[in-house]
Amino acid sequence: MGKFKSFFTNHNETRDEHQDPALRSHYYKTTQKKALEAVQELFGSMNGYKVTSVSEERGELSIKSKKAFIVVTIISVRPFETSVDFSVTTESGFIPIDFGYSKKEINNLYNKLDSKLPFLRGGQ
């Protein structure tokens, strides 16, 4: 039911123990500061994305794209173990359904981030 639900919504987010394995947090072998820099570089290199807010203290970034609003949360779990979570909300004009776009966007972002940072593991 979870995969069906993620298709008929305009919002998806990752967390450590998500029922959908594709929407589980990713952990990287890096510091919070380096992960934050990597995420900023990632969105800086992507056309159509604009970082609108950065809070180093909270480990959060807000990003606006043509189709979505993205919040990235970066948390240092242990020294050199940092989790990255995404929350993606699409802005649809008439109906609050994105037909899986927000989930695809999360998977796309994780794939790009996995190539920039040393991936340790996914959530539980």
Domains of the chain: 2-122 (3.30.530.20)
**Per-residue model confidence (pLDDT) at position 7:** 67
pLDDT digits (tens, 9 = 90+) for 68-92: 999 999 999 999 999 999 999 998 7
| Weakly modelled stretches of the chain, pLDDT under 70 | 1-7
SS3 for 72-98, per residue? Answer: EEEEEEECCEEEEEEEEEECCCCCCCC
Q: Which amino acid is at 16?
A: D
Total length of the chain: 124
Query: What pLDDT score was predicted for residue 98?
Result: 87
